[in-house]
Chains A and B, each alone.
Chain A
Amino acid sequence: MDDKTRTAAGIAAGLQGLTYDDKRLAELAAEVETLNDAVRQAAAKRLTFDDDPFTFASLLEREAKK
C-alpha cells in the first residue's frame, strides 16, 4: 500500500467510519489526487482572500444583458 492509499485508508476508517478494500482505496486515492490537483492549481492561479462562493449568483445577475 503506497502513502496515498494509506492516507485514504486512514480517512475512510478514522474519519468517515467507512470500510473499503485495498484495491478500491487505491482507485479512490488516484481519483481524488486528480481532482484535488486540478482544483488546487486552478485556485492558485485565480483565487484571492476575498473570493466568496456566494458571489456566483450575483455575478450571473450582474452579467445578464441589460
Chain B
Amino acid sequence: MRNDDPALADLSEVADEIAAGRITSVAVTEACLARIESWQPRTNAFLRLDEEKALARAKAMDAELAAGRRRGPLHGVPMAHKDMYYRKGELSTGGSAIRRDWRAPVTATVLQRLDAAGVVELGFLNMAEFAAGPTGHNVHHGHCRNPWDSKRVTGGSSSGSGASVAARMVYGALGSDTGGSIRLPASACGVVGMKATYGRVSRAGALARSWSLDHVGPLTRTVRDNARLLGVIAGHDPEDSTTSEKPVPDYEAMLDGSVSGLRIGLALPSDGPASLDMEVGTAVQAAADALGKRGARITPVTLPDFTALYRAAEVIVKCEAAAMHRPWLEKTPDAYANQVRTRMEAGFFIPATQYIDALRLRGHFVKEFLATAMDGVDAVVLPAIPFPIPTIEETDVEAQGGPATLNMVGRFTGLTRPFNTLGVPALSVPCGFDSNGAPIGLQLVGRPFDEALLYRIGHAYQGATEFHRRVPV
C-alpha cells in the first residue's frame, strides 16, 4: 500500500490487500475507527457508530478468508451509509426527529448486496432531514461539517457520506440523490459520487424523498472504488419494479479504456440561475483541457433551458413528499425543521393533472436533451456546484431565512436536479480547490445506462491529476 496508515488507502486497494492476506479486516476496521475518533468531533458525520459489532464482523470476515471463503469484491472493507437505508430491527432516523426511535421492518436491498459482498458496516451517517436539503444542515442531529473547513457546508442531503469519505473515516458510503444529493456532497467534500441511470440501482428499503426522482448510489475516494461499489449494488431487484433488467457491466474492468477520440461536450452556463462563478469555471475548463490532452475531442455545448424541467421536478417532489408525509404534517408539523416542512406544503395545492403532466413531460425532456446537448458527443462535462462552497452560517435558512439565503440555497441544485428529471447518469469527480481551500467538482453526464463510459472518462482524468489524492488535515 502507498500509505502507512491503512485508513488512507483506497477502497479497491484495501480490498485487494485483504484478499491477498497482506492485511486483515480487523486492522483496517481499527484504522477507520481511529480516524473516526479523530474526525467525528470536527465533522459530525456519524449519527451512530457500532464499534463492537463492526469489529465482530471484521473478525468473522477474517476467519472466513482464512478458511478459504471470499464473499466478494468488498470482503472485509469498512463502510457506513446515509441513515436512510433500512436494516431490519435497527434504528433508521432519516435524519429526522420524527423517526429518532423508529426501527426498520426490512433490510434494504443494497445493504443485503453489500453484506453478501463482505462489507463491514461501521454505522450510519448524518444527512439532511428526510433527505430534503442541499447543504448538510440538520437542526435535529447537528449540522454536518466539511472536513476541509469546518465552517463550510458539506453539501447535502448525503452530508455524512461526503464528509466521512473525504476525511478517510470510511472507504465508501451510500448516498441518495433526488436533486443532487450524491453529487453535491461529493463535489463540496472532494470525493467521487455517482447518480446512475434511474432504474439501475434498487430503491427498496431506502427511505423515499420522491419515488420518481430518487436514485441510490455510492460516494468513494476514487473512480475505481466507485465503479467497484456500483457493480455490487446495481441490477434488477424484484422488490423495486422500477429497476432495469439490463445486465450490469463489469465497470471496473472497463475503466482502463482510452478516452482518445471520445467526443466530450463542455457546458459552462454563463447566465441564468446556475451561472458560473469564475474560479469554478476555470477549474472545469482546466479539467476539460486535461481530458483534451489525453486525446478526447472537447467541443463547447449549450445546455437546453432547464427552467421547465426544473419546475416539473419541483412539482413531482412536492406532490410525492406531501403525500407520504401527510400524516406527520397533520399531527406533528412542529417536529419538522421549518424549511423541510414548507418545501413540501405546496404539494397539497398542485392539481393532480399538473403532477401527471410533469411525469408525462419527462420523456420529452429526455429526447430534447439527447437531441441537443448530447447530439454528436459521448458525454457532457459541467460543474456540479456553480459557485465556491459557502459557510454553514451563510446558508442557514432556519436561523436566517430571507431572500439572499434562500437564493443561495436554491442555486445549489441548478446543475444537478435536471439530471434527476432526465434519469440519465451523472458522476461528480474532484477537479480543483477554490480560493478558500474548498473542493470543486466536475460533473460528467452521459446517455442512459452509460455509467461505464463516465467511469472511463473520470478514471482517465484521475490518472492525469492528483486532486483526489489530497486528504484534509
Which residues of A pack against B, CB within 8 Å? Answer: 8, 11-12, 16-18, 20, 24, 28-29, 31-32, 34-36, 38-43, 46-47, 51-53, 55-57, 59-61, 63-65
Contact = CB atoms under 8 A, between A and B. Distances in A.
Interface in B354-372: 354, 356-364, 366-367, 370
Nearest to A44: B357
Given A60-B423, A65-B447, A65-B449, A53 B362 contact: yes
B357 A39 contact: yes
B360 A35 contact: no
The 7 A-B pairs of least Cβ separation, nearest first, read: A38-B311, A53-B359, A42-B308, A64-B449, A60-B448, A43-B357, A46-B364
Nearest to B197: A60
B315 A35 contact: yes
Interface in B311-368: 311-312, 314-315, 318, 329-330, 345-346, 348-351, 354, 356-364, 366-367
Interface in B417-453: 423-424, 447-450, 453
B361 A42 contact: yes
A32 B366 contact: no
A28 B367 contact: no
Contacts of A63: 366, 370, 447-448
Given A17-B330, A36-B351, A60-B424, 4 more contacts: A18-B329, A36-B354, A57-B199, A59-B363
B356 A53 contact: yes
Given A36-B354, A59-B363, A60-B423, A65 B450 contact: yes
B357 A35 contact: no
A61 B242 CA distance: 12
B367 A59 contact: yes
A56 B423 contact: yes
B361 A35 contact: no
- Count chain A CB atoms within 10 A of each CB in B242, B330, B349 and give the residue with the most: B349
Contacts of B366: 56, 59-60, 63
How would you classify the secondary structure of chain A's contact residues: helix, strand, loop or mixed? helix
Interface residues of B, number: 42
15 contacts: A11-B348, A28-B345, A31-B346, A35-B311, A36-B350, A39-B308, A39-B311, A39-B312, A39-B358, A40-B357, A41-B308, A47-B364, A56-B363, A56-B423, A61-B448
B244 interface: yes
Nearest to A43: B357
A8 B350 CA distance: 10
Give the most central of B308, B354, B361, B363: most A CB within 10 Å. B363
A41 B357 CA distance: 11
B307 interface: yes
A16 B348 contact: yes
A64 B308 CA distance: 24
Nearest to A30: B346
A61 B348 contact: no
Contacts of B69: none
A64 B198 CA distance: 12
Contacts of B348: 11-12, 16, 18
A19 B198 CA distance: 36
Contacts of B350: 32, 35-36
B360 A52 contact: yes
Contacts of B450: 64-65
A63 to B, nearest CB: 5
A64 to B, nearest CB: 4
A57 B198 contact: yes
B53 interface: no
Contacts of B448: 59-61, 63-64
Contacts of A28: 345-346, 349
B48 interface: no
A60 B369 CA distance: 12
